[in-house]
Structure 1
């Protein structure tokens, strides 16, 4: 065995967006990080246009903004973004879908989202996987992350002191290991994680083809009595064949002949395919690790949860995992957090993953080619054409209501901190670039500041008047932007002290 003598704080398996974003969070907090990626070439066809297009939800946009990465994304400037231009009353522009059923901007009541200040980031944007990975790779390398491509994690052993990771004949040691290695995660399998859930209803096909007679298919997403197909651009075809996932699980090579047979059957046309340039299959299999941690090993992203890509929730869910775990793991490594902090990763993230899996299952149910599903589809279509229905679905799809159950207290506790704008024009997100916790003290309370001064290794004290307080005078904000404590008037210093002790340790400890 060829042993590598370097000892890293954290090794991450997988250099997709989730693994890279987690690496950036850890390196920002001065942790040494190694990322192992089995693919030598990061430029896979599935990451390129149009298959690589992903919708970013509000929590993801906020996370990128708070780390100074949002402005580096260029694709949403090139493609039409439904939230960059004013909307005229009654407009019918589609801004999303649920199970292929569109909802429109003109039906969405943004005033229902009370914490979305005018200074807030957009509720949704378009991004591209390839560009996202390029930006995150550049940031990770600049922060000192070591990325080794063409090296797949093959096994590992852990004990109370650390983890030894093997990649073929090479080995590396670390304090903690995180599996961000996708749906077929080796870390999950080798780590003995239970992966519970439901089996698929369909095989999905994402293809780039040449079509002799594309006009026979039309454009857009079309539900048929036998399944669904979508021609988003000429030659780019997506199909859902409700075969119980049989073809995908068979491992059979996708051929032009098979694809044409499936497309003809689903579309009830005699369309002719003349060439298959690229094709991949997928399913709506929905599974979730019953625990995201096993000793010194964690799971994040698709390694922790898989589901249908309907609605594009997977990337957002995975990046949320990374944002949640990064600061907690870094604080533990640097002994700036109580020992119990790492348990909160699974406690907070598992319910959100569970919700997304159910959201995916619900969409599949009303897309099935049977009378009951068609009846439900019709009802949901009517609901999405109402103001309340569109607002509810948009809020779910865009993650507006995402929050953690952090106990009783102010209504904002557990939610993403609003992007407060100070009188000088500075916005809160602009002072969160360094990834530390923040005490917001709008009234310059000397008692709160004195307590905060004992935690300067973990939090920053920020004071000043803002344009809209949303009824609060002070708030403790975690490094991931979640409000851990808030007070409306005359804050109780002892309650603030208790909240600090839950998430951080004092300078001297």
Structure 2
């Protein structure tokens, strides 16, 4: 019997598998697709943007360099000062200037190899994670679809094909149409779609008729990418066409012409898919011994590229908590904090998606809102606000502390010898920095064995904190000028 079975071998399932394997759990990943590679996972169709928070998650597990290499991205140069972001992206198709981000609004930002987001592909992410999972002893079975789920108070049994797979825990990372979610009886609620979206790779006879980048029109929105013939279209039809009829060349051409207001011609379509902005979320991320993460827990439109990043955040948050629970050393209620912390983050992203759709609708009211929002986003405060939301910088978990750093993602503290926090977290343990003299917290940290790495010594910039306790997911659990260290360490470790 495995400690954990994970349904779904995409980025979220594989990242979670790596977190569990790093902690010594026995893990089985069941993936319904027989092959790991496909055109939809490779560039350009599989192109995805990772936020700074997601890049940091790879960095903290020693996976950033392999990911950069797999993505064809150069290693970032070293920096002694926090660098401004290279990209902020857009809000509802309205582009933003990264030079307008006000770094003074980010008081806990320190120089880091992972201070910014990056472009990659699903194929690159999954290749890196699958290789690491294999190194950690994770078993991955492809071409195996989940068909049944039963659980009692001690175990959960997953039925796939002709086999039963018993485990202590099951995590559904099997996408927006999650079988695990349905079989385990999770409630899934939210709002219905406003549009059908299309993504295609085609031969365009007259590409000069289409403007580059995002273009909002009186009929919807279209987007042309850097790869010739790679485009997206939003048609505000209430989601009527999504997966209801074949995506023919004629239909795609008709929609693209109507939305773009051009006479553009498609000679052929190599690949095409549809999607909607349906925004739904599980009311809880845990039912008994079954948990959800990624799109299985929440779905929304891909506007702003938040889906993959939200799912990786789920995996980072859940992994160490589930590992501690499976290992028998979790404090009471630790696993319940997964839903408590991640559900509000998911709800905010769904509303972020809804807000963009409301701005983009092709009607007079939305166009009026669009003009007002455009003016606000053209300000330094507006651009900084969007960066804080899309990069994950604004996320703060309510850990019951008035200390403003507690609950935030930890800055990449750097010791006097040059060692960084991210380098100290490769083994998945928590970290206690004791910056002041006297090694005041050594005994309390050592009491928790190898679950906390005790790091004494001065830092190049300690931001005014004498000591900082960082959870295995990189969240600050305690900072040494307010509250009880003993309470914090016993709560999380």
Q: Match of 2:60?
A: 66
**CA gap 1:98/1:44 in 2 versus in 1, 3 angstroms:** same
Unaligned runs of 5+ in 2: none
Larger CA deviation: 118-127 vs 165-174: 118-127
Unaligned runs of 5+ in 1: 1-6, 505-509
Residue 195 in structure 1 maps to residue 188 in structure 2: yes
Displacement of 1:444 after TM fit?
Answer: 4.4
Superposition pairs of residues 7-406 of structure 1, within 5 angstroms:
7-74=1-68, 78=72, 95-119=88-112, 121-232=114-225, 233-250=227-244, 252-406=245-399
Superposition pairs of residues 431-442 of structure 1, within 5 angstroms:
431-442=424-435
Displacement of 1:93 after TM fit?
Answer: 8.0
SS at match of 1:23: helix
Displacement of 1:219 after TM fit?
Answer: 2.1
**CA gap 1:77/1:245 in 2 versus in 1, 3 angstroms:** closer
Verify the 8 A CA contact 2:71 2:121 in the aligned structure 1: no
Q: Match of 2:492?
A: 503
Tell me the alpha carbon deviations over residues 287-344 of structure 1, each in whole angstroms, 9 at most, x when there is no partner: 0000000000000000000000001101111001000110001101111211311100
With the length of structure 2 as denominator, give the TM-score of the two structures: 0.95
Verify the 8 A CA contact 2:5 2:171 in the aligned structure 1: yes
Verify the 8 A CA contact 2:341 2:397 in the aligned structure 1: yes
**CA gap 1:9/1:79 in 2 versus in 1, 3 angstroms:** closer
Displacement of 1:383 after TM fit?
Answer: 1.8
Verify the 8 A CA contact 1:76 1:126 in the aligned structure 2: no
SS at match of 2:335: helix
**CA gap 1:94/1:425 in 2 versus in 1, 3 angstroms:** closer
Larger CA deviation: 294-303 vs 263-272: 263-272
Measure, in 2, the Cα distance between the counterparts of 1:147 and 1:421. Answer: 37
Verify the 8 A CA contact 1:212 1:274 in the aligned structure 2: yes
How many correspondences in the alignment? Answer: 488
Tell me the alpha carbon deviations over residues 195-251 of structure 1, each in whole angstroms, 9 at most, x when there is no partner: 01000000000001112222222322211111111121321121100000000052x
Please report the RMSD computed on the Cα atoms of aligned residues, expressed in angstroms: 2.0
Larger CA deviation: 423-432 vs 27-36: 423-432
Superposition pairs of residues 392-431 of structure 1, within 5 angstroms:
392-431=385-424
Larger CA deviation: 358-367 vs 232-241: 232-241
Displacement of 1:46 after TM fit?
Answer: 2.2
SS at match of 1:39: coil
Measure, in 1, the Cα distance between the counterparts of 2:150 and 2:438. Answer: 50
Displacement of 1:118 after TM fit?
Answer: 2.3
Verify the 8 A CA contact 2:257 2:264 in the aligned structure 1: yes
Displacement of 1:84 after TM fit?
Answer: 6.7
Larger CA deviation: 215-224 vs 255-264: 215-224
Displacement of 1:151 after TM fit?
Answer: 0.3
Measure, in 2, the Cα distance between the counterparts of 1:93 and 1:188. Answer: 38
Measure, in 1, the Cα distance between the counterparts of 2:302 and 2:234. Answer: 12
Displacement of 1:94 after TM fit?
Answer: 5.9
**CA gap 1:502/1:79 in 2 versus in 1, 3 angstroms:** closer
Displacement of 1:85 after TM fit?
Answer: 11
SS at match of 2:242: helix
Displacement of 1:368 after TM fit?
Answer: 0.5
SS at match of 1:484: strand
Verify the 8 A CA contact 1:75 1:126 in the aligned structure 2: no
**CA gap 1:447/1:422 in 2 versus in 1, 3 angstroms:** closer
Tell me the alpha carbon deviations over residues 37-67 of structure 1, each in whole angstroms, 9 at most, x when there is no partner: 0001122322222222222112212111110
Displacement of 1:123 after TM fit?
Answer: 2.5
Q: Match of 1:507?
A: none
Measure, in 2, the Cα distance between the counterparts of 1:207 and 1:85. Answer: 38
**CA gap 1:411/1:382 in 2 versus in 1, 3 angstroms:** same
Displacement of 1:487 after TM fit?
Answer: 1.3
